[in-house]
Structure 1
């Protein structure tokens, strides 16, 4: 592994970035910036390595992706792109859970990803670099039909992973999936995720969520926990924390205002939830990031396309 370059410009979350918009599906095709520290966001991340290599520190394991690799991991757990080749180019997307649980993937695969595993497959071909570039171009075109086609095609590409060998890391055993897509639980999880994505900054609870999903509260809690490994409250808090993370980067905000704007009912609840994910208080996080070098606008412009 090559040493990181001291002169590098580092990635920082922005208010309109993936962290601050946890309910949106975003596509990208970029030369990414190495991170100074872990971050998190409430979407499943899709990485296709077009060129070079990338090294991530995940929750509980480390992994290197090389050119031609296709990977998925749950961004809700802190992860850190801590080193990469100078020529790294990657493509992919950030999938809110409402999209992820619409995928016809085996429920066991989905559960492992939500628990922190990294899915990695080498079963790609020469069409993938072309397709990922086109999907990103369509998403950035301003044409709603093109954007919709790009998303649909990428989601179908992800579903195709189940038919080829892949590994769920940190276990290195390569598998071929025979599991079944859970046609009963998944629509409920999708309705739950839709409601939370639209209302996470409001004062909502499990009863509100269950009513919106048209199921009994106990069933809503059980099916969501089984599918994601999280309680409903865990996921609502994660959406709020992802939003708050980007808010804390702004110079004109204070921690109490961020807590209220993100949907937390009190500063103490915000501090407790933030420390659980970040390992530090919101004040310490803001103090640390403000001491880091800021990105130039040219460096930041290379990354995301938003799909509404």
Structure 2
């Protein structure tokens, strides 16, 4: 019988690195609990299948499927084939909002939809393996090429058949997509927040960095992502805090302060809102949840700044 491998957020994992594009090609570990991270995730199933519990729906990706979903909503890979291999990456929003996808796709993904396409072929299997190798090569030119080619491959989704799950009727009220005026502003906003989310920042600071009026910054960000600026700043902090909580001697109060929350009460309230549990209970549960013999392993990933 194959030993079950479980995943918990790592102290230096994707949850803590919202500005980093990481790539992977591995057998995915099953998650003991839902996690979240401030990147859009792309999965390509090389072999076998995986099953996810997403926010509000469940989905199974099978061999040859390529999928995108917003990692900022709690999600859990809760089952997989014994021989599964998947590949892909985690895209910081500064990359995601530069993608030339159909107008409604970005906003609907941010609202919780999952994009899935079966319009793949043998070249995708070869390409995902090569991109991972290039990303891990230590050669900056190869690493940059891997990122560029991955982004172009994702953009090619617009020319093929794809589905948004749950059905389009279920996400019909999602906000409208980007236009050519808002995209650069959202990118500047995301850049600034990614660099400063642990500091005491507000909408005026963010708007000044994007060179727009605070009210306009709030409106365009809400229209594009479905989140307020404050929601997004909190998400970045919570993603970071989630990883810190996995450290053996993590102190909840210190995690709250190190993640940018001004008080323990604010941290507890925000954490409970996204996780449905307190930080202390999350830390305990994710480390002690019963199951098969546990080997904790982070997937084979390469991070690219």
TM-score range, shorter chain: over 0.9
Shift of 1:145: 1.0
Shift of 1:295: 5.9
Identify the residue that residue 245 of structure 2 maps to in structure 1.
Answer: 248
TM-score, normalising length: structure 1: 0.93
**Residue 226 of structure 2 aligns with which residue?**
229
Displacement over 4 Å in runs of 4+: 292-296
Hey, what does 2:182 align to over in structure 1? Answer: 185
> 2:265 — aligned with what?
268
Structure 2: gaps of 5 or more residues: 170-175
CA distance in 1, matches of 2:131, 2:191: 24
Q: Alpha-carbon deviation of 1:36?
A: 1.5
- 1:146 aligned to 142, 164, 176, which one? 142
Aligned to 1:220: 217
1:107 CA drift (Å): 3.0
Query: Is the 8 Å Cα contact of residues 259 and 265 (structure 1) preserved in structure 2?
Result: yes
Q: TM-score, normalised by structure 2?
A: 0.93
Cα separation, 2, equivalents of 1:155 and 1:138 = 14
Q: Where do 5+ consecutive residues of structure 1 fail to align?
A: 174-178
Residue matched to 2:277: 280
Asked whether the 8 Å contact 2:186–2:221 carries over to 1, the reply is: yes
Alignment check: 8 A CA contact 2:272 2:278 kept? yes
Moved more, 137-146 or 287-296: 287-296
CA-CA distance at 1:159 after TM superposition = 0.5
Residue 162 (structure 1) aligned with residue 164 (structure 2): no
**CA deviation digits over 1:249-304, x for unaligned, max 9?**
111220000000000011010000000000000011112123248965xx625421
Partner Cα distance (1:283, 1:233) in 2: 23
How far apart, CA to CA, are the structure 1 residues paired with 2:140 and 2:218? 35
**C-alpha distance 110-255 of structure 1, shift in aligned 2 (>3 A):** same
1:238 and 2:238 aligned: no
Match of 1:85 in 2: 81
- Matched residue, 1:289: 286
2:33–2:286 contact (8 Å) kept in structure 1? no
Which has the higher relative contact order, 1 or 2, with Cα contacts under 8 A spaced 6 or more apart? Answer: 2
